[in-house]
Structure 1
Amino acid sequence: MQMWKQAIEHALQKTRENIERFGDQFPHVSEKGKYLLNDNNEWTDGFWSGILWLCYEYSGDEVFKTAAQKTVESFRNRLGTNQKLDHHDIGFLYSLSSKAQWIIEGNEDAKHLTLQAADVLMSRWRAKGGYIQAWGPEGDPENGGRIIIDCLMNLPLLYWAYEHTGKEEYKEVAVAHADKSRRFLVRGDDSSYHTFYFDQETGEAIRGGTHQGYTDGSTWTRGQAWGIYGFALSYRYTKNPLYLETSKRLAKYFLERLPEDDVVYWDFNVAINSDTKRDSSASAITAAGIIELLTHLEASDPDRNLLEGGMQRSLQGLVKGYSTVGQPAAEGLLDRGSYSVRGGVSPDDYVIWGDYYYLEALVRLDKGIQGYWYERK
């Protein structure tokens, strides 16, 4: 579709400019129209690396490849110094940087680095509770028993490590965490909790909650998006039909609640008025996740048309109403992403993960470039 090509060309040009703007630093979220940069110490820094690799695969331009390779060296240094890796987002960091390099170039050093990163994620497994701890050190009184739905997107790092080593514990931990997430984060009406708490000693379920959603019982749209894509990826690796069913359920819930312009607000339960914040990144993640989900559905699946049509509507809504096409000074690809509305942190700004998933969805539709969550067959 010509619309996708034009959006991709805009992303390529913007990324070329951003390579010069950002230098050796990494974009996170924006403030007053400028990306806040860091020295590779945020959970989001893999998304910039992923954007560079996607641009290189799509265009073949060595400028993107050189910049992407430099980011992998930065991630090698980060792992060596263990700089701010006391969280579960290791998959976001290393799947889109070193694993991407392995997938594209077959670089053995990149493969080894990615396996080391998988071991860092494994260190967050809490055997007593049977889950991967999201944030903070083991035994932390606030977060020691907490899982969050985002972690489903980090599990592919462990599945991939199992495929490359044959060590069953990688897959066992990923499956156990996916099962626990399905049981406790997904509600009976197909909505989702952002987080859930367990007793650290016994693993007994305590309660659902939120960190960035409207209320503990509401449905944060980005959390629902993580679930759609994350369960689809767990299905790809395990072929457990329950994961596929769960991804579909979450996706249908999301699409049935699209607003008039097809790009969601930041929470499905928040009151809608002229000041209500959007989250374009939630729609971008969902579009990319449904593209993955569709690859696992039969042509005769009764939900296929709903899902494919909703994905197309979401992506067209982003391109037509939220892309920065025609804004030469813009640094991001999408307007109106939200990091933390409740916390007042970049509630209506560029967010680098939104840019990544938007571009991933576009290049997959246009050229079949699948992203870096699994090996290409």
Structure 2
Amino acid sequence: MRSFAPLLALVFIPCALPVSWAAQPPKELYSRLVSSKILATARDRRDGKSYPHNTDQVNGIWNYVGTDWWTSGFFPSTLYSMNRRSELCPTTVDKVDWVNLGQVWSADLTRLLIRNSVGHDIGFISFPFVDELTIHPNNETTAEIIEGFSDILAKRFDRTVGCTRSRDSSGTNFQVIIDNMMTLDLFFVASRLTGNKTLIDMAISHADKTIEHHIRPDGSSYHVVEYDSSTGRVIRRRTAQGYADESTWTRGQAWGMLGFTNMYRRTELERYLQTARRMSKLFISRMPPSGVVPWDFDAPIDPPRPADVSAANLAAYALLTLSEQESGINNSTGAKYYADAAVKLLADTVNLAWRPSWRSLFSNGTINKPSDDYWTGIVYADYYLVESGNKLLEMGLGGCSL
């Protein structure tokens, strides 16, 4: 029998920041509505093969997708996040077996091991299985699932380009999107399980190429970089979901913020910390006075550009994770700066889009503005809200009785 003891090294034990701060987290973060809404969705399993994705724009009723969609892992992972919340704030959470719910909701995702129909997004699909293995490090079945997902992602790595392929484009056109920074953590988890250091080399190569070709000198980011797979040469830098090729799509910026913070957390390589800082400072500096995160920082204000609470909550979680890393190197000034920015971001987002009557926690999400998919609740916006609340508690910066 294999030993999975090395996985214990994956569990990061945060410490409280020895700083004062300017703001209190919004009380809605720890409302019982969080638990009751998520539990209501968990008990509405439909055919067992559908996952909440976004809502309608009027009543906040969930629309569902199948297992073969990039967001299908977020709700099962949210259930594991609620298990963590039940440990941190038991009085605010319904007394149910959240881990069992997470296991039940994750089960159908294993079908993607047989036929990967989500491409690079298998990294997002892995989230609940990493959660499960963190709780049960000797679960061999889950370890094998993670290894299988990692194998799928590794097959998308091209040594000439130095990255994992995003979309299945044709010929020598090799596309990489900034979102891919969030899939690299799967390589580190699988490497701990298997001892395969090549997976870490792949993650480092991909991150380094992203710094070189996705990140602009001011710390903003391109959404898509197209390479020639026969030479590794950059063909084009563009957007797919932002306003323009040279604009800053906010959710892509936030994916990069969290992705590079995670790379630093895994490797302690200074270049990843510096990149996370640059991207985070750019995000903070571009925030409008209203505190509302727009879909794209460069989209025209008139007519009104839609907000994106998924970018806001993701960025808040990224800033808290970066604050945690700054605390770990005794940079109390940086730790406070990023934590305060995260709390303000969460407060402003709650003021804008908290919706007690909806099935989702928030409205005002933008999935894809060019495709007219916005003003909705979004499953990953809710996920990063729960994760942000948990992170604040773990860091000693939140309170269940707020």
Q: TM-score, normalised by structure 2?
A: 0.85
Which residue matches 1:28?
53
Q: CA deviation at 1:276?
A: 1.3
Which residue matches 1:287?
316
Q: Deviations over 1:101-132 (max 9, x none)?
A: 11112322111111111111111111222211
List 4+ stretches of structure 1 deviating above 6 A: none
Q: Is the 8 A contact 1:232 1:293 kept in 2?
A: yes
Aligned partners of 1:368 and 1:16: how far apart in 2?
26
User: Does residue 1:318 correspond to 2:346, yes or no?
Assistant: no
Q: Deviations over 1:295-317 (max 9, x none)?
A: 22144465444322211110111
Q: Is the 8 A contact 1:5 1:366 kept in 2?
A: no
**CA root-mean-square deviation:** 1.9
Q: CA deviation at 1:275?
A: 2.8
User: Does residue 1:122 correspond to 2:154, yes or no?
Assistant: yes
Distance 1:6 1:43, change over 3 A: closer
**Counterpart of 1:207 in 2: which secondary structure?**
strand
Which residue matches 1:112?
144
Pick from 344, 366, 384 the counterpart of residue 338 of structure 1. Answer: 366
Q: Deviations over 1:53-90 (max 9, x none)?
A: 1112222643422221112211223323x1513x2111
Q: What does 1:1-377 align with in structure 2 at a 5 Å threshold? A: 3-4=26-27, 7-23=30-46, 24=48, 25-32=50-57, 33-59=60-86, 61-80=95-114, 82-85=115-118, 87-94=119-126, 96-106=127-137, 107-136=139-168, 140-141=170-171, 144-273=173-302, 275-297=304-326, 298-300=329-331, 302-325=333-356, 327=357, 330-344=358-372, 346-367=373-394
Aligned partners of 1:2 and 1:304: how far apart in 2?
16
Aligned partners of 1:207 and 1:7: how far apart in 2?
44
Q: CA deviation at 1:264?
A: 0.6
Q: Is the 8 A contact 1:129 1:203 kept in 2?
A: yes
Q: Deviations over 1:34-56 (max 9, x none)?
A: 22112312100111011111112
Which residue matches 2:13?
none
Q: Which stretch of structure 1 is more off in the superposition, 189-198 or 68-77? A: 68-77
Q: Is the 8 A contact 2:143 2:193 kept in 1?
A: no
Q: Is the 8 A contact 2:310 2:378 kept in 1?
A: yes
Aligned partners of 2:388 and 2:106: how far apart in 1?
23
Q: Which stretch of structure 1 is more off in the superposition, 52-61 or 357-366? A: 52-61
Q: Is the 8 A contact 2:29 2:389 kept in 1?
A: no
Q: Is the 8 A contact 2:324 2:335 kept in 1?
A: no
**Counterpart of 1:259 in 2: which secondary structure?**
coil
Distance 1:212 1:141, change over 3 A: farther
Distance 1:368 1:50, change over 3 A: farther
**Counterpart of 1:21 in 2: which secondary structure?**
coil
Aligned partners of 1:102 and 1:200: how far apart in 2?
35
Distance 1:226 1:28, change over 3 A: same
Q: CA deviation at 1:259?
A: 2.0
Aligned partners of 1:182 and 1:125: how far apart in 2?
17
Q: CA deviation at 1:18?
A: 0.9
Which residue matches 1:372?
none
Q: Deviations over 1:317-344 (max 9, x none)?
A: 122322223x2xx111111110110121
**Counterpart of 2:54 in 1: which secondary structure?**
strand
Q: Is the 8 A contact 1:4 1:362 kept in 2?
A: no
Q: Could you tell me which runs of 5 or more consecutive residues in structure 1 were left unpaired when the two chains were aligned.
A: 370-377
**Counterpart of 1:27 in 2: which secondary structure?**
strand
Aligned partners of 1:209 and 1:22: how far apart in 2?
38
Q: Is the 8 A contact 2:25 2:346 kept in 1?
A: no
Q: Is the 8 A contact 1:75 1:97 kept in 2?
A: no
Distance 1:189 1:2, change over 3 A: closer
Q: CA deviation at 1:172?
A: 0.7
Aligned partners of 2:216 and 2:81: how far apart in 1?
34
Q: CA deviation at 1:163?
A: 1.8
Aligned partners of 1:291 and 1:3: how far apart in 2?
15
Q: Is the 8 A contact 1:150 1:223 kept in 2?
A: yes
**Counterpart of 1:42 in 2: which secondary structure?**
coil
Letter matched to residue 374 of structure 2? P
Letter matched to residue 67 of structure 1? L
Aligned partners of 1:3 and 1:244: how far apart in 2?
28
Letter matched to residue 69 of structure 1? Q
Distance 1:6 1:230, change over 3 A: closer
